[in-house]
A and B are shown apart, each in its own frame.
Chain A
């Protein structure tokens, strides 16, 4: 099992591979100050630190401001449809276990429309890293409540607030069988980079639930900068303990809450040396 490495965060300065090498020449559509920028930067740093070859990375997303991420990286990317990124990534990983498969998206994409795939991706525990850029709002569609929005938050769609309790992504991931569960904060780039390197190195399904302020539709989230704590939790491999720390956290703690060595689903992938002979064998079964 990989534990949190002891590298001091400041030392994640890269000599051989530059983080900017992972950037494409497409400029993000994001609003100035959007938390998602810092996630993009942290991701390039993590990839550089891990010295992952660009062409060995498959980055899959759905739809949302957050899901625009793949186009901004110079890797093999797939910007799919809303909510289905984890399913698409599972197909990719099944056919191409040699690739490092990353998935990125928003709270709406992953926890609402994609909720079922979230549960089953956790349960499958394939070796995939899932980066959720949680701004507690649907940014792209201009400010509707998402499953992680507080019940009292008022919007055009919900003038009285949603009146519905929030979704607990980390609790659900734990219950569903994910083997790496962390919370990060876009305003803590070093902490985030470290979490990403850990998550990518972890074998199994890794969730990094990243608090990422939507400065346009949830300007009050800028205050998260004051309340978030940098990497103050330590990982447990015991689900009961992890559940306790997940449920007792006020939402401002960051770090790895849970990391365990669970069976990873790896569909068979043994190349066939002599397909013509094997096919002939298979067709023989049909003879009367």
Chain B
């Protein structure tokens, strides 16, 4: 029997919490940047209370000397700027007897759940310390304490501080630095001085969030219009684009609602230029009619949906892989389109560029599915080299007579004219139409055009990006997962394989059109287990319904918003494998 192993890598997990205005998030941002400057990697996630501004917040960092995107199993160090509503974060900040909890002892006592965790507690006079340096803030002392605890060189903190708070002026920087240094002296012995055992890299790296990576990928793909209506957790994508897209000759349009946003994308794209929107489940619901228009009129359009807990308003600030059914089936009529989900932040840049390119080349709707976790995690990654997918719109030849916008062709993609070109005028239509675009309700034309719209998508060669397949020799088990679950599942599978298991892993990126034969080939003679973060097993049922996986496949499906950790996946996998014997 395979015993659960500790899935913790050689990582260092730090969390910071505090009520509004205490600056917990700033501590996290500076620490992450400093760790990166020191030559390491890390991921930072955040959690907020329901208040719009000024509520309690927490940051969770998982640091390592190699790329890392998963959440930590528990916090090695938790620093509480205060204990206000700490219970809210207890799921996300697990504490064990190996944890060190540092808190301000001039305020409330640690709550029961912290005391009962068995963590080592150190109370210090943070509030009193603030009084010793004029204009200082408590969070900078806290940053100093953490710096000392993990043995991080002050020069990295100083550089990160300048980058993060530089806009606030020299006075703020020097006062902060003074407070950090004072903080370093508050608990002189380091409890988690791990960094000295790690191997720093000299390589350049990026500090990027998933939503930024998505925006960057679209810019690389030549995006010229982003039209959107704000919605958590997708807005950051458009906020990233707004000041940058203009420099590249593009623009952002703020729509009055998602119905408008999607139609603006279609109009902009009809104008000849790559266009996209970003939204989340509720906005996606409003967009579906117009997405059908993009499909029927064969207008390229990219929709990025950043999933959150649903249905209805659900849990806007937290993650769940719960909208797969929506992005696959949320349309009326036969609506062939492309659905793609990146597996981690690292590949978000390239996969987003690919998604936009596919919309352009296939003249259809591409839905890129992300989620709150992928979108709002901030990660240190190796820079992503540029790629050229060579995916462009097919234009009619320079001299065209008798132009037919919806001409039936071998590839089922017909040349799309640039408005402004003489002699190729046409009317794009959501009504069924003939090859010229003339409205038609004839059976023959409906058959022809709907076959064309499906064929251009199924016939396309998607190449190697359709999935990330990691096969082990003699594997008897295949684990299939998607999106933000991938990283936790990957580490769990690797750990089990190190223990002697033979498990292959398939991270499915191209969700539609489903590459059934390729999945079948990988799944051949193996027991398949599908892992996903939703209650009903949406991916599992989808794969089953298309016979991509055998009838006796197993499902591990768990609702959000508590994200998978390598250990929880491992336990679930072991349990599942035991049950199969």
Contact = CB atoms under 8 A, between A and B. Distances in A.
A96 interface: yes
A26 B208 contact: no
Nearest to B266: A88
A79 B248 contact: no
B225 A120 contact: no
A211 B21 CA distance: 59
Nearest to B260: A87
Interface string A54-88: 11101110000000101100111111110111011
Interface in B226-277: 227, 244, 246-249, 251-253, 255-257, 259-261, 263-273, 275
A16 interface: no
Contact of B425 (A76, A120, A283): A76
Contacts of B417: 76
Secondary structure type dominating chain B contacts: mixed
A230 B425 CA distance: 34
B204 interface: yes
Interface string B194-210: 00000000001111100
Contacts of A268: 246, 251
A200 B419 CA distance: 18
Contacts of A92: 267-268, 270-271
Interface stretch (A143-151, A179-187, A270-278): A270-278
A98 B383 CA distance: 38
B438 A71 contact: yes
A13 interface: no
Contacts of A278: 247-248
B103 to A, nearest CB: 30
B297 to A, nearest CB: 7
Interface residues of B, number: 67
B293 A81 contact: yes
B430 A81 contact: yes
A76 B383 contact: no
Contact of A267 (B204, B247, B253, B293): B253
B363 to A, nearest CB: 14
Given A88-B270, A95-B225, A71 B437 contact: yes
A166 B266 CA distance: 32
Given A95-B272, A288-B37, A116 B256 contact: yes
Contact of B429 (A53, A54, A71, A76): A71
B297 A78 contact: yes
A95 B271 contact: yes
A143 to B, nearest CB: 21
B264 A94 contact: yes
A95 B269 CA distance: 8
Interface stretch (B170-178, B216-224, B313-321, B565-573): B216-224
Contact of B267 (A79, A91, A98): A91
A224 B239 CA distance: 51
Interface residues of A, number: 54
Nearest to A275: B248
A91 B293 CA distance: 15
A89 interface: yes
B400 to A, nearest CB: 12
Contacts of A56: 420
Contacts of B266: 78, 80, 88, 91
Contacts of A87: 255-256, 259-261, 263-264, 267
A117 B260 contact: yes
A120 B256 contact: yes
Contacts of B265: 91
A99 interface: yes
A91 B439 contact: no
Interface of B: 33, 36-37, 204-208, 212, 216, 219-220, 222, 224-225, 227, 244, 246-249, 251-253, 255-257, 259-261, 263-273, 275, 289-290, 292-293, 297, 380, 383, 386, 417, 419-431, 437-439
Interface of A: 24, 26, 53-56, 58-60, 68, 70-71, 74-81, 83-85, 87-96, 98-99, 116-117, 119-120, 267-272, 275, 278-279, 281-283, 286-288
Given A74-B425, A279-B386, 18 more contacts: A71-B427, A71-B429, A76-B417, A76-B420, A76-B425, A79-B430, A79-B431, A80-B266, A80-B290, A88-B267, A92-B267, A96-B419, A99-B420, A116-B259, A275-B222, A282-B247, A282-B248, A287-B383
